[in-house]
Structure 1
């Protein structure tokens, strides 16, 4: 992956030297040309394109921002109701993630989402104990975490 990034940057700087323009726009054009070159030559490279990982990271960030906004509105809706109808609770979530980095990232994303908080990770690193502000169905909440954050984290880390 580092070779691909270096090749892409070298292509951008080579483009800037060839056209004799040191502006940022010529760097961007050269970088985009380098991306195109990498896509054409990807069969000759030993690893998958680093652009796939960059795209996966951008999708994870967009997913987190969407969940952040949706859960913020859900918390605001609960706060503004005249009567509290929350059903707080703690549930155990078994994750399919294997590395410490993946579990830590999932835990951080859960903590940063309003209304949820990771309390503890088991010694094996496979079970997260999560406090949720409003649990209607712990199984449904587990499936939601698995289908959103966990799936996106696997896409980023397991290319």
Structure 2
């Protein structure tokens, strides 16, 4: 079954999307949608060298995405104020290195997306030999704060989502 239908939920989603986009339940649209739902995941299989990600804690992912959306909005306002109200020479643009405990390729990809979606920060490079992230910050004032924020607000929840372990309150077992 996995050979011909590697992602059943994705295939079903593609079929339903096809039917909704065409606003029709004609047999021909069912057939075309089913073909799309089977062929697209098969063609995309080589793009997943590490296989499918397994979400250990989906609730943690929803919480992470919600907090990230709030951070993106907050950062948009801050960067807008910096650009409009500060003189260019007053902005302290710097590179910092953030040590990472995260090893999951899917988790690293999510971390990259979240960091690059947040105005004022750019993921520059991953230094695999040191397990460090090279990050550019548009207006850096406290490097320790940035490292702590990346590790606690992003990396910790991502580890919890993909690896099933993460920050737990003292005294509780993971």
Pick the TM interval, shorter chain.
0.5 to 0.7
Q: Structure 1 or 2: larger helix share?
A: 1
State the number of aligned residues. 111
When normalised by structure 1's length, the TM-score is 0.63
Correspondence for 1:109: 114
Q: Check the 8 A contact 1:56/1:156 in 2, yes or no.
A: yes
What is the Cα deviation at residue 95 of structure 1? 0.8
Correspondence for 2:72: 68
- Stretches of structure 2 lacking an aligned partner (at least 5 in a row): 1-8, 10-53, 165-174
Q: Check the 8 A contact 2:97/2:133 in 1, yes or no.
A: yes
Q: Structure 1: which 4+ aligned runs deviate by more than 4 Å?
A: none
- Stretches of structure 1 lacking an aligned partner (at least 5 in a row): 6-49
Secondary structure in structure 2 of the residue aligned to 1:153: helix
Q: Is 1:90 the counterpart of 2:88 in the alignment?
A: no
Q: Is 1:136 the counterpart of 2:141 in the alignment?
A: yes
Once residues 61 and 139 of structure 2 are traced to their aligned partners in structure 1, the CA distance between those partners, rounded to angstroms, is 29
Deviates more, 1:120-129 or 1:133-142: 120-129
Q: Aligned match of 1:147 in 149, 152, 156?
A: 152
Secondary structure in structure 1 of the residue aligned to 2:101: coil
What's the CA shift string for 1:88-125, capped at 9, x where partnerless? 00011111112222222212211111000011111337
Secondary structure in structure 1 of the residue aligned to 2:91: coil
Once residues 109 and 120 of structure 1 are traced to their aligned partners in structure 2, the CA distance between those partners, rounded to angstroms, is 15
